[in-house]
Amino acid sequence: MIPSLLLPDGMAETVFAVLIGTSFAASFITVAFGIGGGGILLAVMATLVPPAALIPTHGVIQIGSNFGRAALTFRHIFWPAIPAFALGSVIGAAAGGAIAVTLPPSIMQIGIGVFVIYSVFATPPKGLRDWPAIVGAVSSFLTMFFGATGLFVATFTKSHNLPRHSHVATHAALMTVQHGVKTIAFGLLGFAFAHWWAFIVAMIAAGFVGTMAGKLLLNRMDDKRFRLALDAILILLSVRLIYAGLRDLLA
């Protein structure tokens, strides 16, 4: 029996359990492979959470997930990458915020589905990777619409040729900044986070447990097979989102 305090109005216990499990798995995946968990969580949440609440709540949950990962790998963070990226993030979130809140839910679903499929098959433009302020601005603009832009930010992180632990730590720090700026923007735009706070705290807690588990089991996994499975899940969930969005749009 799940306490009613944790359930936003209209959310079934089964849905809550699925989302908690997904939060755990998403954090585990991100620690194990450095990327991917945010997209998985977004794709699952997009099928179970009301569209108007999807991007704001996903952003707060990702703050918790990324902050936990950054805290566990704090000594490996490459700090010179942070300031200009943070400045760009503020600019990008401000530019995208007013547009994002006016998008119809069906367009949001289609956009998220297409964006996640893109993240599986394509590589973000390499011309942006050496410009932290531009990467911060563009990715933060996109995240106001599509939520999971970790792959885009990872292009910038990879450009520094950091050791694996430093890559994971720095990417986590950058994403903490980005989701933090996004959350502030949605708060200023009037999203009622208080209605979702208990659910968000539970999701963050599950994500932190997943982070701890992923760190412990990092070297015991078959990367190649798991990446194939991850891509397949992302594609299937994204196709479902696009179908649902097109169905509602054409209804």
Overall domain count for the chain: 1
Residue 223, Cβ density class (10 Å: 0-12 exposed, 13-18 middle, ≥19 buried): exposed
Q: What is the pTM of this model?
A: 0.76
Q: Say which residues have a Cβ less than 8 Å from residue 8's Cβ, sequence separation at least 6.
A: 53, 195, 196, 199
pLDDT of 62 higher than 60: yes
pLDDT of 224 higher than 70: yes
- pLDDT (0 to 100) of residue 127: 60
Can you give the residue range of the structural domain that contains 177?
4-250
